[in-house]
Amino acid sequence: MTATSIKVQYDIKDTQLAASGKQRIEWAGREMPVLAQIRDRFAEEKPLAGIRLAACCHVTTETANLAIALKAGGADAVLIASNPLSTQDDVAASLVVDHGIPVYAIKGEDNDTYHRHVQTALDHRPNIIIDDGSDVVATLIKERQEQLSEIIGTTEETTTGIVRLRAMFKDGVLSFPAMNVNDAETKHFFDNRYGTGQSTLDGIIRATNVLLAGKAVVVVGYGWCAKGVAMRARGLGANVIVTEINPVKAIEAAMDGFRVMPMAEAAPLGDLFVTLTGNKHVIRGEHFEAMKDGAMVCNSGHFDIEIDLVALKEMTSEVRTVRSFTEEYKLKSGKSVIVLGEGRLINLAAAEGHPSAVMDMSFANQALACEYLVKHQGSLAPGLHSIPTEVDQEIASLKLKAMGIGIDTLTAEQQIYMNSWTVGT
Ligand code: ADE
């Protein structure tokens, strides 16, 4: 491959990495049969023909399979990173070299580069934005009002992005439809729970190689992602403590068998802390002060705001890297706190994100949400829209079939019973 044989623009680490990326994208594709069926249909029907699309996602082998499906559907797509540390550079290279998809993403890019890439995505003048965390949509609304008339809609991947879109709608600034991929059942039940559960522990173990059996693991929050982490940490023998601010979720955690307490009580008990709240500074100065010597902290929520690293730095006399993605903060008090993955998504910083088998359903939702936006162009009101139940059910049926699992169907008698109110005791 020569530089002149590459037909698209890009800003990636190294095009020479393409061969490894290609192999890994194909490997992931083996676990993504639902997306593959959509890709094959898209290739025939071209539902995205003429659509300019900007995707802001973690640049992984799974996202690559999505990008390939969108291109097969006729989209003129560019891809940028949704996090400075989550890019897989070989995947970015293969998308550029083997698939002719423009990618702007480099693992470890600084914040300026990240924001420059967001601008590049908007320079593409997208009709559809696939967002993961809502940075592209927020920038569009803040800085590119003149492009709003070109937008058909957006699709949002993650809880944090949905929270931001709701805030935009409440402020009256969201003037186009936004498909809520996160809340589809075939997305959050599996990606948020089993995906985050496995990949977060994978990231922690790859970064530290610590034994989790017998450790006190404090899971901060008890949404779907946190539930997955608590469940899998328990499975590895950890003694799991949950902290929450929502009383219902706190009861759920307690009845799931976890100890529940405020962070002030959990701080001195934990060997490892994992934040998954979507909120800011859930671990703060007073908590670091109370932690055991050598306690480890990491984050698996979307943004790197959950752990107050500024406060930690102020309390620290020296920081040293002890392993990849593992930094020891020597506190002035004499103790150490270990920070994993710079407080960014540990599952994507130190591991490879969620396994392909769950991203298959998440990205099937993304592809079908784009198609839905195009089909219903002009008729969807501004604001958030659920993925239609039929689409969710269809994805579940295709996944089950691919997993070789059969299920029952209602008998005629049962169908009548389920639609009747006259039969009681
Ligand atoms: N978010 C979490 N895991 C991911 C993955 N493997 N690919 C893309 N986005 C993700």
What pLDDT, on the 0 to 100 scale, is given for residue 183? 97
If one counts every other C-beta atom within 10 angstroms of the C-beta of residue 190, the result is 22
With a CB cutoff of 8 Å and minimum separation 6, the contacts of 16 are 93
Tell me what percent of the residues of the chain surpass a pLDDT of 90. Answer: 98
Q: Locate the DSSP E strands across 51-207.
A: 52-57, 76-81, 103-104, 128-131, 153-156, 177-180
Query: What number does the ligand 1 atom closest to the CA of 352 have?
Result: 6
Q: What is the DSSP string of 212-232?
A: -TT-EEEEE--SHHHHHHHHH
Residue 2 has pLDDT above 90, yes or no: no
Q: How far is the C-alpha of 292 from the C-alpha of 359, rounded, in Å? A: 37
Out of 27, 57, 103, mutate this one to test ligand 1's pocket (max ligand atoms within 8 Å of CB): namely 57
pLDDT given at position 214: 98
Cβ 198 vs Cβ 232: under 8 Å: yes
Q: What pLDDT is attached to residue 98?
A: 97
Per-residue DSSP letter, 3:
G
**Domain locations in the chain?**
3-183+354-402, 195-344
Q: What is the DSSP string of 164-222?
A: HHHHHHHTT---SEEEE-TTSHHHIIIIIIIIHHHHHHHHHHHHH----TT-EEEEE--
* Strands of the 316-323 sheet, one edge to the other: 259-260, 239-243, 216-220, 272-275, 295-299, 336-340, 326-331, 316-323
Region 158-179: mean pLDDT is 97
Mean pLDDT (whole number) for 70-92: 97
> Helix (H, G, I), strand (E, B), or coil: what is residue 47?
coil
Long-range contacts: 263-269, Cβ < 8 Å, 24+?
Answer: 263/218, 263/220, 263/287, 264/290, 266/218, 266/241, 267/218, 267/291, 268/292, 269/216, 269/218, 269/241
Interval between CA 371 and ligand 1 midpoint (Å): 21
| Measured distance CA(127)–CA(386) in Å, rounded | 20
How high is the mean pLDDT of the chain?
A: 97
**What is the pTM assigned to this prediction?**
0.96
| Residue 3 predicted with pLDDT over 60 | no
In CATH terms, 195-344 corresponds, of 1.10.3720.10, 3.40.50.720, 3.30.200.20, 3.40.50.2000, to 3.40.50.720
According to the model, what pLDDT value does residue 424 have? 84
pLDDT in the model for residue 425: 81
The pLDDT value recorded for residue 5 is: 80
Q: Are 182 and 208 in contact (CB under 8 A)?
A: no
Query: Domain 3-183+354-402 carries which CATH code?
Result: 3.40.50.1480
**What pLDDT score was predicted for residue 112?**
97
Report whether 230 contacts 220 (CB < 8 A).
no
228 lines ligand 1 (CB under 6 A): no
- Is the pLDDT confidence value at 224 over 60? yes
Q: Is the pLDDT of residue 56 over 80?
A: yes
Ligand 1 atom with the smallest distance to the CA of 199 is 3
Choosing from 348, 361, 365 the residue with most ligand 1 atoms within 8 A of its CB, the one to mutate for a pocket test is 348
CA 356 / ligand 1 centre spacing (Å): 8
pLDDT value at residue 1: 53
Backbone angles phi, psi at 72, to 5 degrees: -60, -30
Quote the tokens at residue 205. 């173990």
Same CATH fold assignment for domains 3-183+354-402 and 195-344: yes
Nearest one of 323, 331, 332, 346 to 273, comparing CA atoms: 346
Residue 181 in contact with residue 155, Cβ under 8 Å?
A: yes
> Is the CB of 31 within 6 Å of ligand 1?
no
First to last CA, the chain: 74
124 close to ligand 1 (CB < 6 Angstrom): no
* Ligand 1 close to Cβ of residue 82 (< 6 A): no
259 vs 203: CA distance, rounded Å: 24
| pLDDT given at position 4 | 60
- Quote the ligand 1 centre to 199 CA distance (angstroms): 9
Query: What average pLDDT does the segment 390-394 reach?
Result: 97
- The pLDDT tens digits for 121-148 are 999 999 999 999 999 999 999 999 999 9
Q: Of residues 1 and 344, which shows the higher confidence score?
A: 344
Q: Is the CB of 202 under 6 A from ligand 1?
A: no
Rounded mean pLDDT, 260-284: 98
Q: pLDDT tens across 357-382, in order?
A: 999 999 999 999 999 999 999 999 99
Looking up tokens 């270990």 gives: 338
Cα torsion 127, 35, 157, 349: sign? negative
Backbone angles phi, psi at 20, to 5 degrees: -65, -40
**Cα distance between residue 69 and residue 359, in whole Å:** 14
* 411 Cα–ligand 1 center, Å: 39
- The C-alpha atoms of residue 254 and residue 72 are separated, in whole angstroms, by 47
